[in-house]
Amino acid sequence: LTSACVQDVESPALIRKPKLPKQAREDLPKQLAEMDRAKRIQRYVQKDGKCNVHHGNVRETYRYLTDIFTTLVDLKWRFNLFIFVLVYTVTWLFFGFMWWLIAYLRGDLDHIADNQWTPCVNNLNGFVSAFLFSIETETTIGYGYRVITDKCPEGIVLLLVQSVLGSIVNAFMVGCMFVKISQPKKRAETLVFSTNAVISMRDGRLCLMFRVGDLRNSHIVEASIRAKLIKSKQTKEGEFIPLNQTDINVGYNTGDDRLFLVSPLIICHEINQHSPFWEISQAHLAKEELEIVVILEGMVEATGMTCQARSSYVSSEIKWGYRFTPVLTLEDGFYEVDYNSFHDIYETDTPACSARELADMANRARLPLTWSLASKLSQQGLPESEQEGQETRTSPDSQAKSRQTERNGDIANIESESKV
């Protein structure tokens, strides 16, 4: 009994995993493969619009200093505020030191208690008082306790220089802060794109579609939409072009790319012979490594500044055979937009073949009767030489008959004219 108990304890326990349904077992490897592939895909543009590109090995860093204003505006807020405080503090300290140096060289610090002595600046008795006088001069506070006298020409020149340079510093730093505050980047946060793009039939044509919307009541003026296909390619000469950009027509020729973005709109790209998706089928799309970058541009109605919102769709986010759920409903006297259904899609009947194959099938369905008879004769195996021989043998008889009918018609016309 003891050995049996020991054997039972030492033997591994058999734990049976729950058996999945057949359909789930078949779909599980596909889902795992799609998840693994989605992790491996490197985006060119993130879903929030940030470009996933880092600039490295930039040796000519002096170019950033040539455009110092844009460099300061592009900095993060913590660095911008630090530079703002640092610039003012340095200018105040520098001119405070200059006022103290003038007082020291003229001997004003040695005659502080001498009422007969006329100093350059009244009541300036050290570096701290010189620093305070520098702040009062540059900020034009003017408390009236420390005043420059007319017996100090070097002080008058320094006062002019500090006033001019102080105005320049104020204009530069305040302008930089104003531009950074009024940047329309945050306006793009209320411009939304659908999570997925869809491919389905519209008016008998295969179309690629995605949806855009504006959450604010203030509209985007002169809004326009663009789309780019990001996909690496290899030329006929063997040159490899990474991340090649191809335009996707979303209505440039018809003006549909210019939007009146009051309510959510579905942007449609017709897949025709000029489209980069012309030969892509549903099975081919699942294997493609591509990315669609969409760019929405316009002017902010409140500020008049240009705003740009971006997003992207990789191949796993392009749903074949789906449509967007309507979000606009008519209420009592107004239209209401339900943004809870903004990203919702539903399945619809869509052919799985490419647009080129679909067009070929449609063309074959519209062939005339003579073409179909000729195809049947060719299917029956009649040699072309025999067909041409029959045509040549029957051609003289047919030509004689046609000439006889033409003569009979001419005689009949002459007889009718004579009777008249």
Q: Is the pLDDT reported for residue 415 higher than 50?
A: no
CATH number at 187-359: 2.60.40.1400
User: Which of the listed ranges 105-109, 381-385, 386-390, 392-396 does the model predict with the highest average pLDDT?
Assistant: 105-109
Query: What does the pLDDT look like over 143-173, one tens digit per residue?
Result: 888 889 888 999 999 999 999 999 999 999 9
Amino acid at 395: S
Query: Containing H/E element for 85?
Result: helix 77-106
> What is the average per-residue pLDDT within 222-251?
92
Classify the C-alpha dihedral 19-347-213-47 as positive or negative.
positive
pLDDT at 219: 87
When pLDDT is cut at 50, 70 and 90, the band that residue 184 belongs to is confident
Query: What does the pLDDT look like over 54-104, one tens digit per residue?
Result: 888 888 777 877 888 888 888 889 999 999 999 999 999 999 999 999 999
pLDDT at 321: 94
Residue 134: name the closest of 73, 90, 74, 198 by CA.
Answer: 90
Amino acid at 96: G
pLDDT at 333: 87
Q: What are phi and psi of 147, to 5 degrees?
A: -135, 140
> What is the average per-residue pLDDT within 360-372?
70
Strand partners, 230: 245, 291
Compute the distance between CA of residue 57 and CA of residue 239 in angstroms, rounded to an integer: 24
> What is the average per-residue pLDDT within 106-123?
87
Tokens of 80: 């911008």
Compute the distance between CA of residue 230 and CA of residue 246 in angstroms, rounded to an integer: 7
Q: Is the pLDDT reported for residue 350 higher than 70?
A: yes
The structural domains of the chain, with segments of one domain joined by +, span 75-182, 187-359
pLDDT at 345: 95
Query: What does the pLDDT look like over 201-211, one tens digit per residue?
Result: 999 899 999 99
CATH number at 75-182: 1.10.287.70
Lowest mean pLDDT among 50-59, 225-234, 249-258, 313-322: 50-59
- In 146-290 the beta strands, taken as DSSP E runs, fall at 191-193, 197-202, 205-214, 220-234, 240-247, 258-259, 265-270
